[in-house]
Amino acid sequence: MEKLRVGILGLRRGMSHLRNFMRVDEAEVIGCADRIESMRERAREVAPDVPMVAEFEELLEMEPDAIAVATNGRMQAQHTIQALQAGCHVLSEVPGAFTAEECHHIVATVQLTGKQYMLAENSSFLDFLRYWRKWVMEKSMGEISMAEGEYLHYLPNTLITVDGERYTPAQCVEDGISGAFPCWRADQPPIQYLTHDLGPLLEVLDDHVVSVSCREAPWWQDQAPLRSDGQIALFQTAAGRLIKITVTLNTMRPASHNYRLFGTRGSAEWYSHEGFCRVCDRDREEREGWECVPIGTAAPDDDKSVGHGGTDIKTAYYFTKAILGDRPVPIDVYRMCDYTLPGILAARSAELGGQPITVPDVRTGPRGLTDFWNHVPVPESEPDRWDYKSPSEMKY
């Protein structure tokens, strides 16, 4: 196989996958499917020579080697299983599954078909995480006992009409719009959309979750769907660490991803609105304060125009390389469950008032080390640091 023949399913979020696979030399997009005509028309402007069809079955008839699943979150598992059974490898958008049962069904189908599955979690490819992994392995912050991740994203326009237009629930009521239905992040508890935060931390720490307790805020945001305005979960890992994840999709604020590591000899923080990393490690006294390291979403030579700060294309690139090289993908079906299942069970814990819930391991064999860092290189050196002063004095 000289090139990986890829089909794209879903052309809203899937537009990014279309563009990215078109940029990967070893990949060829052979078709796209979406039931909304306006989505297909938009895709034709980007890829005029690529066939655009309405139904998934029509796309599968083109016999692609792989399918990028970028459909409604409640349908990702169904479409993933359908693609695997048709003989295709799968790159699936997050969260990959909506229920615990779906996680198990996807695992079973991968085992039965022998095809590869990769979760397209772009946040795991954020460039600063490579340095954090380096510091963790070098123990420059000592042992990491706690970590935090936050996904803060105000998403009020969560009702969608058949022609693809989006509205807030209040707009539908005020304007008498009928027939609108919830888009995929509108009909799930916010904590289930945690893979952008939990996944990267699990890779940096090479760990997995064994239990969770979660509590939720009320629904007071009348411009957003009827769900908790936000949820906070505490996860215990196999290594004994504590990870706190906060997800809010209803509270009005600038969107942000935030990550923190707490170690016995130091700590590190990264906030997406700042674009640099703060670190205080074993070579620095606590009273000396933070040092700043100019590491962010992408490496200096990365193309930041391809989506989410240059991370989107890496899911297509590493997936293609792994399939053509006949090697395991960076975020396989078991690791997808490590990222996804804790959020599903966190939502269940919140329903039970914060009751702790055990997170099972879906593996049928022994658990090894994460394969992620066998694909993504850990840097040998790092940029120069400078003392943190105040935002008004920062130059970077």
Domain boundaries, given as residue ranges, for the chain: 4-115, 124-302+332-393
Question: Closest by alpha carbon to 119, among 146, 144, 96, 102?
Answer: 96
Residue 3's CB: how many other CB atoms inside 10 A? 14
CB burial of residue 396 (10 Å; 0-12, 13-18, 19+) = exposed
Taking each helix axis as running N to C, give the angle between helix 333-351 and helix 195-205, from 0 to 180 degrees, rounded to the nearest 10.
120
Angle at 45 between CA 44 and CA 49, to 5 degrees: 50
pLDDT at 299: 85
End-to-end CA distance of the chain: 45
**Residue with token string 């909304």:** 36
CB–CB of 273/257 below 8 Å? Answer: no
One-letter identity of residue 163: D
> pLDDT tens, 319-334?
999 999 999 999 999 9
Tokens (6 digits) for 323? 């399939």
Q: How far is CA 217 from CA 110, 232, 241, 252, 392, in A?
A: 37, 8, 25, 14, 34
pLDDT at 165: 85
Q: Which fold has domain 4-115?
A: Rossmann fold (3.40.50)
For the four alpha carbons of 81, 183, 213 and 332, in that order, the dihedral sign comes to positive
Furthest-apart CA atoms within the chain: distance in Å: 64
Q: Collect the ranges in the chain with pLDDT lower than 50.
A: 396
Q: How far apart are CA 170 and CA 127, in angstroms?
A: 39
Q: How far is CA 121 from CA 37, 78, 286, in A?
A: 27, 19, 34
Please determine, looking at this structure, whether the domain spanning 124-302+332-393 carries the CATH number 3.30.360.10.
yes
CB–CB of 196/121 below 8 Å? Answer: yes
Spatial neighbors of 21 by CB under 8 A, at least 6 apart, are 6, 8, 27, 28, 29, 68, 316, 320
**Residue with token string 């070098």:** 138
CA trace torsion 294, 372, 9, 77 (10° rounding)? -120
pLDDT at 364: 84
Question: Closest by alpha carbon to 192, among 350, 363, 335, 78?
Answer: 350
Q: How far apart are CA 58 and CA 56, in angstroms?
A: 5
CB–CB of 80/55 below 8 Å? Answer: no
> pLDDT tens, 199-250?
999 999 999 999 999 999 999 998 887 789 999 999 999 999 999 999 999 9
pLDDT at 252: 93
> pLDDT tens, 284-296?
777 788 999 999 9
